Structure 1
Amino acid sequence: MPKITIAIPTYNRAKLLTEAIESVLVQTYEDFELLISDNASTDETKNVVVSFKNPRIRYHRNKKNIGMMNNWNKCVTLSEGKYLVILGDDDKLYPNFLEKSLKAHRDHPSIGFSFAHCNKVDPKGNYLTRWGYKFTPSGYLNLFEYLQFTIKYGSCLTNSSTVLINKKVFSKVGLFETPYGTNTFDFNMWIKIALKYPVCFIDEVLCDYRIHKEQVSEMHWRRKEMPTGKIGTYLEILGAIAALSDKKEFENKEKKKFLTKRLFDINRELSALLRQVIPEL
């Protein structure tokens, strides 16, 4: 049984999928399986996967398209490793990604997941900028620290392609779900895990995150007239504040004051975004 499963959920991305697979197969840490979960693609996806002829690759094809989130959950249930990476089919890991990420788990055995920096690149792989604008401190982060910075900055601080998850967490937090927004189910998972486990931030760039017109983020984050990405993010953070409010860690007066202030700030910002979408509100 492999130590790590790298899963690539994919749909009609045959051309970009090749680069994602290649980035996995050159990892310096080699005890892994590569699981491709094909969401009933109609392009050359299967042929691309089969062309690699690598025994570590396992190909699964859904009989019908089950949606993006359900395909991610399929990756969880089909994976055989102790640890799991869900890599975007349009992203690329750096060769030392697994080595660095697994070290974080070995150094901090209690963490639920590790995550790292990544760079934004254009469709041809040219560097654009660093993903994200504000980050947590480097290293081990307890429950309060990770969620404190998430709430403070009002954003998701974790790019999913940089995450290595200890699969034991799913028995406690369940699978990916959409209680607040369909476009923030990954952010919802990082919050759920961080409510029960410490995490670890690796302060290095270990992945390329590709920006292009066909990605889901184009619809949710790059349409000024319809800011569904930010709305979903704020809804997730309000849920995190609610979950934190009755925990022991927040009996401290200063921590409660921090949460209360951010609750009002985020509620006000969220109201402005909703009025942008629904002027009559």
Structure 2
Amino acid sequence: MDQPRITVLMGAYNAEGFLREAIDSVLAQTVGDFEFLIFEDCSTDSTRQILQSYDDPRIKLYLNATNQGLTKNLICGMDLAQGAYVARMDADDVCMPNRFERQLEYFASHPEVSVLGSAVTFFDGKGYEFVGYQPEAHDEIKCRLFTGFTMLHPSVMMRKADMDQHGLNYEADFVCSQDHDLWTRSIRKLRFANHPETLLKMREHPSKIGNTRKSTQEELSGRIRRRQLDELEVEYSDEEFEAFDRLAGYGLVTGRTGLMACESILFKVLESNRSCKVFDQKILERAVADAFYGVCRSHLIRKSTLGAYWRKS
């Protein structure tokens, strides 16, 4: 096989339930010039047998002797990738047939962009679906990665040469939230964007890492947020950090004391950024206001009087 245009990178562990649908959606892409690196991570179900049943020369199957975890598989995959672009994919999601085509078109018309995600459709396979639109512009993405999250991992395609030029790869310490860590490091050096079309379906189910390793994911994302605050040279109390972590993590801050701490650290963030200039100030102000309003609105929805705090802030 000649050097492929795209490397598709996927890990698979106990993924038998949705694996075929995920693989088939990649193999059916309207752009077929890719290699498909799949790391089978010592599953205890029929994952390995399913993978070995495929006879497609684009698939390169790596059978781990011991369980490595997704992050180490991704580090290895980035090192092995031969494509000019690296596309992430998860073993429980579904690519739209034109995903690669549309992302390559975007890269061709936006040579300044190095990392490209997209809007996605969240679904559970039982009739529940909704579209998760993402911020499209670089500076908005940069702020969202601070006040919340975006660049949904299995939707992302990266220019390999740009990642290599800056020595950017996943970090082994981040057994979860490895994408959050990589994006927040990479966006300091590279341009990001999200394609406006829904190019991926992300499956919601109880076995997702966000459910099975929730506490670890929250702890590691908290570490990333501390790093971001430190880069802004923000001084904060434990209470203020807890409030910010809850705001950015899942948009809920409890209690009047929590809302006051959240408001306090957000004002510190805005003031620090005026001198550090990490973020576009106007976009950051809007992102911070939207995030804080969202917290207050969640209290209003729950018919809590704390929702009125927004009017007093």
Task: Bin the TM-score by the shorter chain.
Answer: 0.7 to 0.9
TM-score between both structures, scaled by the size of structure 1: 0.77
Task: Give the unaligned 5+ runs of structure 2.
Answer: 234-271, 296-313
Contact 2:274/2:281, CA 8 A, preserved across alignment:
no
| d(CA) in 2 for partners of 1:185, 1:60 | 21
| d(CA) in 2 for partners of 1:11, 1:182 | 14
With CA pairs under 8 Å and 6+ residues apart, which has the higher RCO, 1 or 2?
Answer: 1
Contact 2:118/2:151, CA 8 A, preserved across alignment:
yes
| d(CA) in 1 for partners of 2:279, 2:160 | 35
Aligned with 2:47 (options 38, 45, 48): 45
Contact 1:7/1:84, CA 8 A, preserved across alignment:
yes
| d(CA) in 2 for partners of 1:125, 1:170 | 41
| d(CA) in 2 for partners of 1:86, 1:173 | 18
| d(CA) in 1 for partners of 2:283, 2:202 | 36
Deviation at 1:125, TM superposition (A): 6.1
Would you say how many aligned residue pairs link Structure 1 and Structure 2?
249
Contact 1:104/1:200, CA 8 A, preserved across alignment:
no
More helix by share: 2
SS in 1 for 2:87: strand
Match of 1:113 in 2: 115
Match of 1:197 in 2: 190
| d(CA) in 2 for partners of 1:74, 1:62 | 11
Match of 1:184 in 2: 177
Whichever residue aligns with residue 83 of structure 1, its letter is: Y
Moved more, 195-204 or 167-176: 167-176
Contact 1:9/1:86, CA 8 A, preserved across alignment:
no
Contact 2:16/2:50, CA 8 A, preserved across alignment:
yes
Over alpha carbons, which structure has the higher Rg?
2
Match of 1:128 in 2: 129
Whichever residue aligns with residue 7 of structure 2, its letter is: T
Structure 1 residues 250 and 84: CA distance shift in structure 2, 3 A = same
Deviation at 1:126, TM superposition (A): 3.5
State, as a whole percentage, how many aligned pairs show the same letter: 23
SS in 2 for 1:15: coil
Matched, 1:175 2:169: yes
Aligned with 2:99 (options 97, 100, 108): 97
Task: Give the unaligned 5+ runs of structure 1.
Answer: 270-281
Match of 2:80 in 1: 78
Deviation at 1:183, TM superposition (A): 2.5
Matched, 1:148 2:133: no
Contact 1:178/1:184, CA 8 A, preserved across alignment:
no
1:205-237 Cα deviation digits (max 9, x unpaired): 11111111111111355xxxx5x5455434423
Aligned with 2:281 (options 255, 260, 263): 255
Contact 1:173/1:192, CA 8 A, preserved across alignment:
no
Structure 1 residues 241 and 15: CA distance shift in structure 2, 3 A = same
Match of 2:224 in 1: 236
Contact 1:101/1:114, CA 8 A, preserved across alignment:
yes
What is the RMSD of the two structures over their aligned residues, measured on CA atoms?
3.2
Match of 2:259 in 1: none
